[in-house]
Amino acid sequence: MTIYLDNAATTWPKPESVIQAMNQFNNLIGSNPGRSGHHLSVEAGRIVFNTREILAKLFGISDPLRIAFTSNATHSLNIVLQGLLKPGDNVITTSLEHNSVMRPLRELESQGIELTIIECSTSGQFVDTEKIRKLIKSNTKLIITTHASNVTGTILPISEIGKIAAEYNIPYCVDSAQTAGILDIDVQKSHIDILCFTGHKGLFGPMGTGGLYIKKNLEKKIRPLMFGGTGSRSEFEIQPDFMPDKYESGTLNTIGIAGLYAGVKFITDIGINEIRKKENFLLTRFINGISDLNKIILYGSQHIEDRVAVSSFNIKDLLPSDVSLSFDENYGILTRPGLHCAPSAHKTIGTFPFGTNRISFGYYNTVEDVDTVIKAIYELSNK
């Protein structure tokens, strides 16, 4: 028996409807959207549009064409960071970011872009939102933060950060890799100018899908990362300058997008708050189950409401990789040890370079799953 507790890496299993949607695309449609004009190509285009539409509705975006599809959140983040920032610009971010933000930023730093990194607390929390005001400079061209840490699960106060960014008229970009489909996101209410999301985590789509929302007119300041055929303005050898085509060169992962539609539909049918409630219930049971153990070090906020269902912990005197291996071999529990592609976050909470064990619950996990992993931790910590 296998207990999958690695939902922060990718959710699994996917809803049955996701697999069905992909099979249906494969069997009945199969064509390249926006390319050929025949009825199956048009049908493929309709699926792509419907997916933009259901995502727009999920994120409070009024115009679905403000969403461009990408291959993952990293792709979206690279479009924004490399496309918007120029040498001499300042960008503000946090010490909790994943390498999908830190690596492009370090590369840009080497090209003369100035980074301001807000240090978060050792419990992995973003403590003082007002501090941002003091960090904003005349050359600050972007504020970018994760919505929730992939290491500690800490939720950042994006609405408060967005409000400050809006006051200063600085674009605010949110990396929702760990939250889209799990927390309520409304780009209007939270003053989010750019939203980067991945399809294969909380949105229940397949790997290879992702996207990017850009506020109206802001795309004029963001160069494309790739150039190529878009099926539009084919008479020109220059890239179209309008959304979403500007950022969608090359054939889209249409079968993946068909699956992503079904994933988002699954979420909206159940209700995002129900998903959150279930994941919180599992996380609470887990935290309560292990927090009294002597040898356990738990990271992240004590308040469940401040977190998504990601939990990092260590067992004293045991390496995360050994714990994870034992989980897998002796209990069939699948987790992820180490640095989780987020060295900065681990430095923040003091777990660099060995990292932590990370358990990440998903909608399909059960009480029995939680109890099995608690039992495993008991046994490992008493050895």
**In 3D, which of 100, 171, 174 has the Cα closest to residue 142?**
171
Assigned token pair, 20: 């069905």
Cβ proximity to its own copies, 209 vs 301, nearer residue: 209
Hey, which residues does 196 pair with through a beta bridge?
175, 212
Instruction: Give CA–CA dist 191/160, Å, rounded.
Output: 9
Shortest Cβ 308–its own copies spacing (Å): 17
Helix (H, G, I), strand (E, B) or coil at 93: strand
Instruction: Give CA–CA dist 172/284, Å, rounded.
Output: 31
Cβ proximity to its own copies, 6 vs 219, nearer residue: 6
Quote the distance between the C-alpha of residue 221 and its chain's center.
23
Shortest Cβ 365–its own copies spacing (Å): 14
Cβ proximity to its own copies, 226 vs 293, nearer residue: 226
Shortest Cβ 302–its own copies spacing (Å): 26
With beta carbons less than 8 A apart as the criterion, state whether 151 and 312 touch: yes
Q: Which residues of 140-165 are buried (b: 16+ CB within 10 A; e: fewer)?
A: bbbbbbbbbbbbbbbbbbbeebbebb
**In 3D, which of 366, 322, 272 has the Cα closest to residue 4?**
366
Question: From residue 286, how far is each of 182, 279, 369 by CA, in Å?
Answer: 18, 11, 10
Shortest Cβ 305–its own copies spacing (Å): 27
Shortest Cβ 273–its own copies spacing (Å): 26
Within 10 angstroms of residue 46's Cβ, the number of other Cβ atoms is 12
Cβ proximity to its own copies, 255 vs 275, nearer residue: 255
Shortest Cβ 60–its own copies spacing (Å): 25
Cβ proximity to its own copies, 296 vs 334, nearer residue: 334
Classify the C-alpha dihedral 261-262-265-266 as positive or negative.
negative
Shortest Cβ 325–its own copies spacing (Å): 8
Q: Is 4 exposed, middle or buried (0-12, 13-18, 19+ CB in 10 A)?
A: buried
Cβ proximity to its own copies, 191 vs 200, nearer residue: 200
Cβ proximity to its own copies, 124 vs 337, nearer residue: 337
Within 10 angstroms of residue 27's Cβ, the number of other Cβ atoms is 8
Shortest Cβ 133–its own copies spacing (Å): 26
Cβ proximity to its own copies, 164 vs 182, nearer residue: 182
Locate tokens 């969403």: which residue? 67
